[in-house]
Structure 1
């Protein structure tokens, strides 16, 4: 909740005012194209006229019902992003306020690991999962060292940059870890203790480890366990039943999952939160260390883009965001070539 008597968007505290730019974002950012949306609002690809680069802009309105709560959530997220910096966390760039909407400007990533799986229409190879999870773990280790819980780890929040770097995103749910008591997250990825938190008290950063284990299954099998259940049934099942495991490989062209991968998933998905390993231990796990990850994610992105170009019109429109940077670079290249020809013909 916003402090009593505080009007959303009205900033009197100098420390809070320092979080926001006072310029007009519409004068700086151009060519906005929606690339995603949710309950918070929408995310856009945009061209930054000041830097001649591309950015992602998350627009969040703080008007209407629950305006005070929305404003408090915005302040919390912006203050948090302003404090963190890590090579595997999406870089925060600036924040603007315009017409009761917050423009949160971040580095642009071409898509999420979930987008990649959707385009491929099959799970990833083990070495690809290892590469993605290893870099995600690096970001999680940093967060946990700061005493923070992400609380919404899933393939949709694991982004890939065009330079093939994994970037953890979406810190709207992040909280201080000592202790967290609120019921937040995506149902299929929630740890049992998070589901039971309203009854039994609190949970720790080990909730993220459970979600990472579920994300491994999502990347391997295209969907998280219980995906076909409604949310309430899934929550009950997670809280009351044994944890899921990797299913046997059904693709005859793909080898069985290694013992190290199966072990990694099983130790992440222990019902007893305290028995789950910390991020430092998982970074040293054989599933992460056994592979040479060099070039793996770059090749995965190239393979995915090649498939996007073959999609029919409807599917291409859905996944076109994966190609936006290529389109911009091609346009810039054509413009430079045209300018060069004109100059030579003078």
Structure 2
């Protein structure tokens, strides 16, 4: 940045409102430009800032700057100062918002700026703690009562007439009407200094998005405790004929007392269409967050009901347990379509110990058709109570508006998370609105206006063109034992197959294989063309009369896996997943499935597979998930085949006999984003190889030879990325 910083950009910088790249440009310029350093005095009363400027002035006059050290902590504090450091000056405000043409190239986004003032009505603004589409949130103090509160300020210059202002008023009204232990409480609202504001109770703790980022997946008990409280609060909301419409981890706050609070009712609407509040909703606007949005919500927010919140809470439950969202695609629109079209992943795929009661609760909450879902939050609470009472770990205090008395586990969970969270943090395309006028930047691709209009049109008008034969399933939750499976995430879930009808020959092959598999101790999943996926089938009598494809085969009965047995599968054309885990396997067995090019998931953990046996999978070019954990016969030599599987996104090598040499063979698998090398001989020598996995998001290294310094180096490297999160276990 050669030219001086514009007033507008400098003010945004002091308000900490710039993206990371622009912030670094401004910081670098301020370190070198005495003129811009001097201009900061207009906006700040900070003595340390003046000290820093004097230090640089002495440096300019020939003094050795090393004799005037200024710590990075101090610089960070100065350069991230918030609105409390800005003088309340009308002339300064007018000057600061004047555009500067020579700096327009580095203003990457145009958002309304928070009013540069320190006092709103009776409230002293302390620091900004979050910003969303409608408002900016400050930690504040009541000037007379000296009580700490949170103040949400409307982020809109034309505040008197806009729909955005009306939505803000709606949030005031909604929060003011609700009084429940699991919903954030409003304490005041009003208008001051040409804007409107909402005051809420100050919560000491962290939102679940922050906790997940720092801690990773939660324990089953903790996740159920959180889910129960959230469901209870939402039932209270639904009882008032309201729908939240934006349930996600960042809108659920866990206090240091272990209590869950539902945040952000800015998108909430009346359950009955045609209401005055619902009229505020733009029909060209998709409201909600793409990762958690129910299929029907993407089509029309006018006709949704409480079951959309149930779907969103189900997606949140999945993330609490696994650390990942159930559907993740490259763009928001593709993610929304995946919610409608792709099969719901199983919790057991990543969490083998999950009780079936909870597996089926999630599956019921995440049904595509609202009529097939569990129908009320009260039912969700009832099922969770059944599980928690069985665990006998958490006491329940039942009242008319019940909520869970949290265990020490949740309190400690929150206390371990050291970052103060932004109340409305919205990053990584989790914004609550997608309008035709927006432009979304994601994974370095820009979805321009035309794309949003076209794809929104597809969602609202054209997505129904696929005619489906809905298979009637029993949505009543069953109780049984946990489903054993691999811990790995299912990165790409198969779509319900909209292929042309089966030929009679292929239909016979599929049915023959299904019958054979069920006779040989397997469980299978099938898909009817143009229809829905069937539940897991364990007996031949459960097979339908209509034609079907075999999608998943799991060898559940312990048996020797031979080439002869697997050759029975060779005629399948749409086999997606093959589970051979915990069964001994012969070296030549996998040669029989080398032609199954549709295969995407292969589970070989604890099978005794050898390097030679693994070599037969080289032709499975569409493989995305591979589990080899607990196979001591897999060495570095065996990993050579991994280099040929370019679509691999999830790889489990835990407790194999590999070392640094083996990681050389996977460093060029650029799509890998989930890797487990726990209990291996991999050391710090492999840090350089791991850094080449540019999409890596989850890395498990516990029990390996990687040192604490190596873990920190890996963590620091991947945390610098702006567009992807990163989780490493153990944490540095």
TM-score computed with the length of structure 2 as normaliser: 0.36
CA contact (8 A) 1:41 1:61 kept: yes
Structure 1 residue 294 and structure 2 residue 391: aligned? no
More displaced, 44-53 or 275-284? 44-53
Q: Greater share of helix residues, 1 or 2?
A: 1
User: Residue 354 of structure 2: which of 243, 247, 257 is its match?
Assistant: 257
Find the residue that maps to 1:96 and give its secondary structure.
strand
User: How is 1:239-254 mapped onto 2 (pairs within 5 angstroms)?
Assistant: 239-246=340-347, 248-249=349-350
1:58 shift after superposition: 1.1
Q: Equivalent residue for 1:74? A: 168
Q: Equivalent residue for 2:212? A: 117
Q: Equivalent residue for 2:239? A: 145
Structure 2: 5+ residue stretches without partners: 1-117, 395-405, 422-711, 720-732
Question: Which digits, 9 at most, give the CA deviation of each residue in 1:151-191, with x for residues without a partner?
Answer: 00111100122322110010001111124786311111111
User: Residue 416 of structure 2: which of 303, 314, 319 is its match?
Assistant: 303
Question: Which digits, 9 at most, give the CA deviation of each residue in 1:23-73, with x for residues without a partner?
Answer: x95363335211111111321112233333321111113324995212211
Q: Equivalent residue for 2:299? A: 196
1:203 shift after superposition: 1.8
2:250, 2:321 → 1: CA distance? 14
2:258, 2:265 → 1: CA distance? 21
Q: Equivalent residue for 2:371? A: 274
Question: Which digits, 9 at most, give the CA deviation of each residue in 1:286-336, with x for residues without a partner?
Answer: 34544414223212112223999x999xx9xxxxxxxxxxxxxxxxxxxxx
**Aligned-CA RMSD value:** 2.8
Question: Which digits, 9 at most, give the CA deviation of each residue in 1:210-231, with x for residues without a partner?
Answer: 0010001121222312334210
Structure 1: 5+ residue stretches without partners: 1-23, 316-346
Question: Which digits, 9 at most, give the CA deviation of each residue in 1:197-256, with x for residues without a partner?
Answer: 27xx72211000000100011212223123342101111121222233325337xxxx72
Bigger relative CO (Cα 8 Å, ≥ 6 apart)? 1
Question: Which digits, 9 at most, give the CA deviation of each residue in 1:72-128, with x for residues without a partner?
Answer: 1122111111111111100101113223322211111232011111122x1111111
Q: Residues 31 and 102 from structure 1, CA distance in 2 versus in 1: closer, same or farther, beyond 3 angstroms?
A: closer
1:307, 1:281 → 2: CA distance? 34
The structure that has the greater radius of gyration is: 2
1:306, 1:268 → 2: CA distance? 31
CA contact (8 A) 1:91 1:106 kept: yes
CA contact (8 A) 1:96 1:103 kept: yes
User: Residue 252 of structure 2: which of 158, 161, 167 is its match?
Assistant: 158
1:63, 1:271 → 2: CA distance? 40
Structure 1 residue 61 and structure 2 residue 121: aligned? no
CA contact (8 A) 2:125 2:138 kept: no
Structure 1 residue 88 and structure 2 residue 88: aligned? no
Find the residue that maps to 1:164 and give its secondary structure.
coil
